[in-house]
């Protein structure tokens, strides 16, 4: 039974989510504000956290950053904010997925199952060693001979998708869907920007990538 923490300030929605998730076999804890959520997360150690961005005491992105300071549990955002900038802000803060209100319960349940599957895969994730850096997927760390490489949550998520498909072409559409969500399927500029940042941090010569390879017009591939 997965433990879910729901952080939502609308009482009716909070109650409805609790009832529905319990009916589907989840163990549910409810919080109506960010401060309560952070305390309950530390006490309950949930397997997955559902966070609204519009909370009464702090922005949901602050809650996400607070959680990411100590937990790797997947975080799913529920929000009426549908602007791309809001979604990018939440994902960069450390969220794993973003669902816009209004939403269907079936979609929410599917998103929860998906983030939990990814989290469980990460528990058995391999360590990838190259001549220039080491990637520990379980610990979510990249290190070189001079120390740890700091990656943003979005950079890490993009790298993780590629590494889990080492040697395989990963299409631009699939990367956009996995990292940013289905509403970003045509935003190829996101990929260009973040791939450039990853190459700058990991490639010995970013202009001549050895590991993060572009397949023109198709997608990207991670090579060891």
CATH number at residue 150: 1.10.10.10
Contacts of 58 (CB under 8 A, 6+ apart): 33, 34, 35
What domain range is 151 assigned to? 125-222
The pLDDT assigned to 87 comes to: 83
Mean pLDDT of 78-84: 85
| Whether residue 161 sits in one domain with residue 147 | yes
Pairing of strands 147-149, 141-144: antiparallel
**Total domain count for the chain?**
2
104-153 pLDDT, tens digit per residue, is 999 999 999 988 887 776 555 578 999 999 999 878 889 988 899 999 88
Contacts of 154 (CB under 8 A, 6+ apart): 88, 91, 92, 179, 180, 194
Domain boundary among 102, 122, 142: 122
The pLDDT assigned to 150 comes to: 92
| Whether residue 191 sits in one domain with residue 136 | yes
The pLDDT assigned to 209 comes to: 95
The pLDDT assigned to 6 comes to: 97
Q: Identify the three-state secondary structure at position 75.
A: strand
| Whether residue 185 sits in one domain with residue 112 | no
Domain boundary among 122, 146, 161: 122
The pLDDT assigned to 171 comes to: 84
User: Is the pTM of the predicted complex or chain greater than 0.95?
Assistant: no
Helical pair 153-163 and 172-179, crossing angle rounded to 10 deg: 130
| Whether residue 69 sits in one domain with residue 14 | yes
Q: Are 67 and 90 in contact (CB under 8 A)?
A: no
Lowest mean pLDDT among 91-100, 108-117, 138-147, 176-185: 176-185
CATH number at residue 76: 3.40.50.2300
Domain boundary among 122, 141, 172: 122
| Whether residue 134 sits in one domain with residue 183 | yes
- Which of 88-97, 110-119, 183-192, 199-208 ranks highest by mean pLDDT? 199-208
| Whether residue 73 sits in one domain with residue 176 | no
């Amino acid at each position: 039974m997965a433990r879910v923490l729901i952080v939502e300030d609308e009482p009716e929605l909070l109650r409805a989510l609790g009832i529905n998730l319990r009916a589907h076999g989840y163990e549910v804890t409810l919080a109506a504000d960010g401060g309560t959520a952070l305390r309950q997360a530390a006490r309950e150690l949930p397997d997955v956290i559902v966070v609204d961005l519009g909370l009464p005491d702090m922005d949901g992105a602050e809650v996400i950053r607070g959680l990411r300071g100590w937990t790797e549990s997947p975080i799913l955002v529920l929000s009426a904010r549908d602007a791309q900038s809001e979604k990018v802000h939440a994902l960069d803060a450390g969220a794993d997925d973003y669902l816009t209100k209004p939403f269907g319960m079936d979609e929410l349940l599917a998103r929860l199952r998906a983030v939990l599957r990814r989290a469980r895969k990460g528990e058995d994730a391999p360590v990838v060693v190259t001549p220039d850096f080491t990637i520990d997927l379980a610990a979510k760390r990249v290190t070189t001979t001079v120390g740890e490489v700091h990656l943003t949550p979005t950079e890490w998520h993009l790298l993780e998708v590629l590494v889990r498909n080492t040697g395989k072409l990963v299409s631009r559409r699939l990367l956009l869907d996995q990292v940013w969500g289905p509403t970003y399927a045509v935003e190829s500029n996101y990929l260009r920007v973040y791939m450039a940042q990853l190459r700058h941090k990991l490639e010995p010569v970013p202009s001549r990538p050895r590991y993060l390879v572009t397949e023109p017009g198709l997608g990207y591939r991670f090579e060891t």
